[in-house]
Structure 1
């Protein structure tokens, strides 16, 4: 079924108040309008786990080549080559394989002691102060340090890198990325001076590896990455990695304050940490929806979605679908048996840095619980992030006993 525009079952991705807590509406859409149509913004939406999972796996019907964000698809923008998240196979597979060199288990695992040391450096000065902001004091800093560790970017330059990418995600309240004066897609120019210097001074690091790597492109020609391609590659790595971890840590502060019994269980039993990270991302995924361009007519629930439409897959709704996660899917539970969710996507666009994000989340929780086993959040001073694509907190202040 498709709902009509007079129904009070309504989802608008640009409605700030609705997006403060979209889950009650997502639950209604999932049950009452499993194929939802929004006439105002002209998009369809899927919300049940099996439908969202299948759509994200079917890149031939649901294409990323026109963007993975609703307003970019609707604007019919030209997508720069090398914007990995806005590509389909086979070119996506070629570019993804190159980037996979960065996220090998060995390279990710080698970062753990460095990430733990940095986390301790952030948290130790706060012990005894009575306050701790999960985002400002840790969540917003950790990702850029980790990306810097991966790519060899000096600490002094890391803030500029993240701020450059984040500026394209930040919008006015209720605004669209296509209305952003900084542009809807970060170009990666912030990396230009660094890669030019590295090209003249090669080293045993990932940046040098990307500069010198040869690959067979979609035409069959063997070549290296062009400068503009490399800039976009680096921007995708920096921005995508930053958003996931920052929002994860912010939600951890809020949800574990609201569930003190589960927090106490984690303090006593650190083997719960991996499951807690999975539950945080399932329950409050930073990317609450992923959009695709529909390449052919497709039918859902007796209705046809015509080719040329925009389809919004409501990841946050699918992640609480009781058909997948049981009758308590709407509850936060770190003891929940781990089962694949859609917080990192699925299929050809499954998050390449998922293992790194999971490790960052686990280390952050471990180090936080060591120092602050109890806290209350100060929601009157918490600030939600103003973006149309990523839902999370700009600040999540906590009061410590």
Structure 2
């Protein structure tokens, strides 16, 4: 009897899941957890292929394990929980928020916001990668893109965080009948109707599109509200966790951090390596729409499948010496943002936020150590990271 056990809700496993991931890849590349009734894939090739297999591995019932198993009522417009062709139509509408032009426009504002956050801390002996940056910047960036007033953005962040928090060791509670609630965005949409601007809400209110049945129509208010709930929820919490890992991992690799301080052209690849090494979203789930075979075993239709992104990113079959953090690594591709039809729409935004933030941190604090005793993990299995990552600033 194998003693190999993986449980995404186990707090002790989650502290350092990589040894168990390695055993899963070697001993049980298709894993079944009887207690929570889900299957799991851990190797890069399997996860990569599964992410692209939208016919047999469906997103229509959610992409979080607890959601897939609860099979909640999905309102129209939850594009991350749709399959083609409906997903293709809805995704194209939301993609308007993430054009290169909008990314350039937002980058200037993101840098200005970083400066405003960090300048008051210059000369101090501490700052917190999460409290001072991770909790603030992603929320502001999404607000800038979407068109949510500055004063209202903390509400969006707090709502996104609450919706993904679970009790230690327990699955996330899912309200089957009211899983997605976009009502909190109704006032912003009404405000933008009266005050149009260059943002996504204004654009969604005005556009006409051809739906899957060939009819040309405008989006309903409910669809717009759902779009906003999806974008804000996905963009705020995951990107926010990236900043905690940035502080911790670069403190653990001071030589590489000094290289970054001296040569800022290395920063984009460093962010890419950080995303591979400690992905804020460690796994995504799919509903098995029809029988599918992996490693000689049939996974029956109706099952829940967990795609272990963090394990795939450390697969020695794909990456040389994968447990080594290396800002010079020729990464190729990782699966932190997914692959195929459901590739993360906000990937460019997350990369830009990380790149700009690290640049501005190094401008002021090229040397730091982490106060691990003061660090605090996030109580969520959906997103892996920290609620606090305090840094002690070294003075030259």
**Alpha-carbon shift at residue 122 of structure 1 (Å):** 0.5
Shift in CA distance, 335/80, structure 1 to aligned 2, threshold 3 Å: same
CA contact (8 A) 1:178 1:184 kept: no
Partner-residue secondary structure (3-state), 2:257 = helix
CA distance in 2, matches of 1:246, 1:180: 25
Q: Does 1:289 align with 2:283?
A: yes
1:199 equivalent in structure 2: 193
Number of aligned residue pairs:
394
String of CA shifts for 1:19-55, please: whole Å, max 9, x gaps: 1111111111011111111010111111110100001
Query: 2:189, 2:212 → 1: CA distance?
Result: 24
* 1:139-154 equivalent positions in 2, closer than 5 A: 139-154=134-149
Q: Name the counterpart of 1:363.
A: 356
What is the RMSD of the two structures over their aligned residues, measured on CA atoms? 1.5
Q: Does 2:104 align with 1:113?
A: no
Q: Deviations over 1:312-365 (max 9, x none)?
A: 010000001111112x11111111013110011111110111111101100010
Per-residue CA deviations over 1:73-125 (Å, capped at 9, x if unaligned) read 11122222211111111110010000111100111012122111110110111
User: Does structure 1 retain, via aligned residues, the 8 Å contact 2:130–2:388?
Assistant: yes
Match of 1:110, SS?
A: helix
Pair 1:135-2:130 in alignment: yes
Task: Answer yes or no: is the 8 Å Cα contact 1:165–1:186 preserved in 2.
Answer: no
Following the alignment from structure 2 to structure 1, what is the Cα–Cα distance between the partners of residues 109 and 229? Answer: 22
Answering whether residue 238 of structure 2 is matched by residue 244 of structure 1, we say yes
Contact between 2:57 and 2:286, CA under 8 Å: does it hold in 1? yes
2:368: which partner in 1? Answer: 375
Tell whether the 8 Å contact from 1:84 to 1:96 is kept in structure 2 after alignment. Answer: yes
- The alpha-carbon deviation at position 284 of structure 1 amounts to 0.6
Give the C-alpha shift of residue 245 in structure 1.
1.8
Consecutive unaligned residues in structure 2, runs of 5 or more: none
Work out whether residues 130 and 240 of structure 2, in 8 Å CA contact, stay in contact via their aligned partners in 1.
yes
| Equivalent residue number for residue 209 of structure 1 | 203
Of residues 85, 97, 100 in structure 1, which corresponds to 2:95?
100
Partner of 1:72: 67
Q: Is the 8 A contact 1:134 1:396 kept in 2?
A: yes
TM-score by length of 2: 0.97
Q: Does 1:391 align with 2:379?
A: no
Instruction: Determine the C-alpha separation between the residues in 2 that align with 1:27 and 1:184.
Output: 37
Q: Please report the TM-score for the alignment, with normalisation by the length of structure 1.
A: 0.95
- 1:31-180 paired onto structure 2 within 5 Å: 31-178=26-173
| Equivalent residue, structure 1, for 2:18 | 23
